[in-house]
Amino acid sequence: MSAVTTDATKNLLILTYWYPPGIGAAAERMRSFAAYLPEHGWNIRVLCADRGGSGETQESNDTTTVTRVVDHMAKEGPIFADYDPRLPAAPAWKAMLRRFVFPDRFVRWKKAAATAVLESNRRESIDVILASFPPASVVQLALEVHAHTGARLVLDFRDRWLGPGGYEPQSERIRDKHRALEREAVRKAAAVIAVSQNMADAIAEENGISHDRVHVIPNGYEPIADWEAAPADVELGKISEEAANRYGKPLTISHVGTVIPRNRPDLFFGSLDELKRDERIAGLRFRFVGNLSRDYIASIGLTPLVESTGLVDRESARREMRDADALLLLVGDYVAQWGHNAKLFEYVQSGRPILCLEESARSNDAQLLMQFVGDRSFVAPLGDARALMEAVERLRAYCATRPTAAMELSPEFRKYSRRELAASLSEVLDTLR
């Protein structure tokens, strides 16, 4: 599917707020489309946000041009705040602002982005527009460019429009405005992309369009060729010598990636609180590589059972996966129903055993794990302390008897590689020209 085409030039404009060097699944999804679609004859123009620059910037190679438009309203500091449920809700003035600025706070950036797009269109035509949602302002931008240029519009839904991944306005009037904007965009789009079949079906049914117009292209992975087994360098927590002898060597289970409320980390920490006096916890360490507040963990008495590294770069994150004894996956109901955790695919590649805790049974993530790496996947209900401990005991036994090594990926799993997914997207785009 990845053969280079020789068709006449095809021009694709990708509109996305998130793009590297920004981190996260949204940025990586758009980067992969921009990287691999040229293999199928597409010239790519990307317009994205610059969250801290002083002016519009542009970078180009033979097939791709990236234009960054400054978002002067972007908050300072890291993109992902530390997870700490003790923090107060947004100030009243911010809640008030959300009521009067529709569809979101990105409207000022959208105006500057529209100017940049329409000016560049005088120099190079656009055949197809691919707009990545959320935020909704990107969709509004795409509608404006579509109306001005006549280019075919494709919407890429990474999340549901209304819900934990998109918008949750308290006002029914604002909810109605969001519904109307989604319906307008979906009906004007020549095609819609969704990250799961459940999401694709919901978009078609809720917006009154044919299911044939909605295509599934999930989040995927970049193949990692340099996974190597390596012992974890872990400091043993303060446990009794008897317990240490009884339960064996230390076991580090790492959660690598962003901690987000919709994956219900609160249920996980609640289970650990119940178990922290259980002697079977001896030698166990949960290592969070990402945005988990150390102060919060200390405040609920889970130090040194739980530790946090803070945010790290991509290579450091991969090294943390490699060095862990096992990997932790938390799956809240939203992700369970509408997609996959982006980290899941790298977890599978790592060769490490995976402890998957799901809020509801038969989540998308758990089913994929059992399909491809069922022998080293340990699934338990999220928020059930007893089930968690039983799964950890099975995991501990596995680690004691099975060597940790890189795995050979099956051909069926390889269809989730981002190069293959970009090839599938190209097939959709080719039908629109």
Where do the domains of the chain lie, and which CATH numbers do they carry? Answer: 10-220+417-430 (3.40.50.2000), 241-413 (3.40.50.2000)
Contact (Cβ atoms closer than 8 angstroms) between residue 229 and residue 209 = no
256's CB contacts (< 8 A; 6+ apart) are: 289, 290, 317, 320, 321, 324, 327, 343, 346, 347
Give the tens place of pLDDT for each residue, 341-394: 989 998 998 889 999 999 999 999 999 999 999 999 999 999 999 999 999 999
CA gap 248, 28 in Å, rounded:
39
What is the H or E stretch that residue 269 is in? helix 265-275
At 282, is the pLDDT very low, low, confident or very high (cuts 50, 70, 90)? confident
Whether the predicted pLDDT of 233 surpasses 90:
no
CA gap 29, 49 in Å, rounded:
15
The pLDDT mean for the chain works out to: 87
First to last CA, the chain: 19
**Nearest-CA neighbor of 391 among 383, 401, 381, 405?**
381
What are the angstrom distances between the C-alpha of 427 and each of 31, 217, 423, 424? 18, 11, 6, 5
* Global confidence as pTM: 0.87
pLDDT of residue 16: 98
- What six digits make up the tokens of 162? 């209304």
Token look-up 């997914």 returns: 421
